[in-house]
Amino acid sequence: MARYIFITGGVVSSLGKGLMAASLAALLQARGYRVRIRKFDPYLNVDPGTMSPYQHGEVYVTDDGAETDLDLGHYERFTGVAARQSDNVTSGRIYQQIIAKERRGDYLGATVQVIPHVTDAIKEFAQADTEGLDFVLCEIGGTVGDIESLPFMEAIRQLRNDIGRENTVFIHVTLVPYIAAAGELKTKPTQHSVRDLTSLGIQPDILLCRCEKPLPETERAKIALFCNVRKEAVIQALDASSIYAVPLQYHAEGLDNEVLRAFGIEAKGEPDLSRWDDIIDRQTNPEGEVTIGVVGKYVGLQDAYKSLHEALVHGGLANRVKVNVKWLDAEVFEQDEAGLAAKLEPMDGILVPGGFGERGSEGKIAAVTFAREHKVPFFGICLGMQMACIEGARNTAGIKHASTTEFGETTEPVVGLITEWMTAEGRQKREEGGDLGGTMRLGAYAAKLTGNSHVAAIYGGNDISERHRHRYEVNVHYRQPLEEGGLVFSGMSPDGQLPEIVERPDHPWFIGVQFHPELKSKPFDPHPLFKSFIEAAVRQSRLV
């Protein structure tokens, strides 16, 4: 049976519970254990699919088509274990399932209550699909004391009783703030947070203390005394130079050893952390640097493009260069066309990412034009590919009124709403004006690449599978005029109906993809497209 590690947070949000869970899983994995990480989100949305990136950061997508919290991206990047639909659940999804059962009469006339029905549903989720695993790490979103997280706290309290104390460990992540005026780290917020947690029936086994200065032994002992944990189980977590240094840092602080001790497992030898040593060596000793301009609409919040940023970093690791990312607001380019060249000329590569809605679209198209005309490496992702097709239609194929139906009625719908497509389960259909949540082309889909194309050379083959998240598609009926204008359709869905990749053979590096390759990139296994894009940017930097 799998052992469970439950991770809670206190004092404030954004302490890095997800990064901590991913790092601990990587350490256990480096010791030869099989791991899986799950995220419990207390908010009432069924999933984050309809939420603005400014509300909750990017939406991460799994192979099986789940729209999930961005922390699952950390989990995959650190462990290489593909996330699944069963690895993320929200209060909304739990209540939706319970209400559906109640309407069907599944509860046989019983009064449906938070305890036991909601807590039982949470426990079922935690224990589902865990065959062959040694450890399941479950992160509880939010902070202790949040009213919406109470059913989750009660569920994990019950689960310890259900499966035995020897099979569960509670880790609590807290803040130990530094008060500059006093010149001291203060332990009282941690004490209060642990007191709130114990009032819910959960006694933490390990405390991970986020602090910006080293935690003195006296303060560590004080926390241990007042929070009823071993002093060795009070782990300091200082800010790291890179998120990929966190596993090494936590191992140095003894986190993985303390977790094994809490389970009564004797640690045998040291974990194999060579992959992380290599990543940090490449990151701290680059042989050059490049600057990539990302022209988007959510640039005010980096978490909106979290996976994209990390994939660019991975491309840099593969080429042993530092990647400087410049976040450029596409709307600004619409208001200041003269300033567009000044902002884009210093870039060694230009990337237009995914997004939704018309805002900033003309600025993105202008960025595509600049990259095409000035022979700057260009990478268009999802909406970025669609903008590249509209730009090509207008400027190289002579279709002056080319647009997308996403932005309203148009006489030249180079991009249009997808109403049906084929999946492994059969034909999928969507209606205009239907629900927005969970109705896009989501998850992994196969594509066929043209044998002599640039992308086939990059991938090293003609058959690929990539993750999608979009509602609109490039209209295949415009293929001929676009290709006559120099924009080649080099990747198609297996049935030949949906364009997946476009490229310009007369350009040093110009590729647009309908999918999201950033979702599958890892620091120890960079995605080939990002590896190749940064390689092209390195060549571009040497031309300047």
Number of C-beta neighbours around residue 298 at 10 A: 22
How far, in Å, CA of 186 to CA of 413, rounded? 60
CA angle 128, 133, 135 (to 5 degrees): 95
Three-state SS for 37?
strand
How far, in Å, CA of 427 to CA of 434, rounded? 17
Amino acid at 189: P
Tell me if residue 468 is catalytic: no
Three-state SS for 189?
helix
User: The tokens of 372 are what?
Assistant: 């095409």
How far, in Å, CA of 257 to CA of 497, rounded? 53
Q: How far is CA 384 from CA 151, 362, 389, 479, 530, in A?
A: 41, 11, 9, 17, 15
How far, in Å, CA of 275 to CA of 273, rounded? 6
Burial class (CB in 10 A: 0-12, 13-18, 19+), 500: buried
Q: How far is CA 191 from CA 11, 142, 326, 371, 476, in A?
A: 10, 18, 41, 55, 61
Catalytic residue among 58, 154, 466, 518: 518
CA atoms within 13 A on the CB side of 376: 24
Give Cβ neighbours of residue 480 (< 8 Å, ≥ 6 apart).
none
Partners of residue 328 on adjacent β-strands: 295
Tell me if residue 382 is catalytic: yes
Give Cβ neighbours of residue 341 (< 8 Å, ≥ 6 apart).
370
Catalytic residue among 468, 507, 516, 527: 516
Residue 139 and residue 5 in contact, taking contact as beta carbons nearer than 8 Å: no
How far, in Å, CA of 459 to CA of 44, rounded? 40
Tell me if residue 373 is catalytic: no
Catalytic residue among 382, 391, 470, 535: 382
Strands (E), 303-440: 322-329, 349-352, 378-381, 402-404, 412-417, 420-423, 426-429
Amino acid at 91: S
Closest CA to 19 of 255, 278, 230, 216: 255
- The 10 Å CB-count burial string (b at 16+, else e) for 156-179 is bbbbbeebeeeebbbbbbbbbbee
Q: Could you give the residue numbers annotated as active site?
A: 382, 516, 518
